[in-house]
Amino acid sequence: MRGLKQMGWFRRSRGATIGADYLAFLLHSEFVVPSDKRFQAQDYGVAEEFHEAFVAKMTLYREALILMVILGRVRNNETYQPLLMEYERIILPGDTPTPEGLGKMEAIRRAMIDLRDLFQSTPKSNGLPWCTNWFLEAGITVRHPVKDVLLNMVWMNEWLAIQKSLDRIQGSAAVVAVGR
């Protein structure tokens, strides 16, 4: 499937272990890094003056999407708890909460709710399609309907790719906590 990104580094021999810190780092670097060619603003018809806002929002939502997947795993299997802790350490650096960190956590929480609405086809209160609303919230008002729908498909594909990547590691290696 085009755009579906499974990570080759999940091909591990049975019985291997992978540190939760390393797995969190790999998930973040594979699925969040803003230079990713799959998430270029111009591909979505975003005018140049809005590229920075687009990249910032895309990065936030990608972090939120990974966190959603990991939280779902933790609810079903506590062995993912070290991965959750390490991923949170990446997206919310520092040992103590800061105003900036708390603000980012709130933004991630809102992004997770918004993504949940997309996946559950929950209508927006303003009656606009999810993708149109997503762009409007980033200040991007001039839109192309076909490219907007593409954004919906991208988020679905990303969610599947993260799930499949974790499935592959679960079947071939143990995720272990690292001493800190």
Calculate the CA dihedral of residues 107, 108, 110, 114 and round it to 10 degrees: 130
pLDDT digits (tens, 9 = 90+) for 64-73: 999 999 999 9
Contacts of 145 (CB under 8 A, 6+ apart): none
Give the residue extent of every domain in the chain.
16-176
Question: Comparing C-alpha atoms, which of 68, 44, 65, 66 is closest to residue 54?
Answer: 44
How far is Cα 132 from Cα 116, in angstroms, rounded to an integer?
Answer: 16
Q: Is the pTM of this model over 0.85?
A: no
131-171 confidence digits (pLDDT tens): 888 888 888 887 788 888 888 888 899 999 999 988 888 75
Q: Determine contact, residues 162/67, Cβ cutoff 8 Å.
A: no
Nearest to 130 by CA among 113, 107, 142: 113
Rg of the chain over Cα atoms, rounded to whole angstroms, equals: 17
Residue 42: predicted pLDDT: 81
Classify the C-alpha dihedral 127-131-134-135 as positive or negative. negative
User: What single-letter amino acid sits at 134?
Assistant: W
- Cα atoms in the 13 Å half-sphere on the side-chain side of 50: 19
What value does the mean pLDDT take over residues 124-131? 76
Grouping H, G, I as helix, E, B as strand and the rest as coil, residue 19 is strand
The predicted structure's pLDDT at residue 178: 57
pLDDT for residue 168: 83
- Per the CB < 8 A criterion, the answer to whether 166 and 30 are in contact is no
Calculate the alpha carbon distances from 146 to 2, 27, 113, 138 in Å.
17, 29, 24, 18
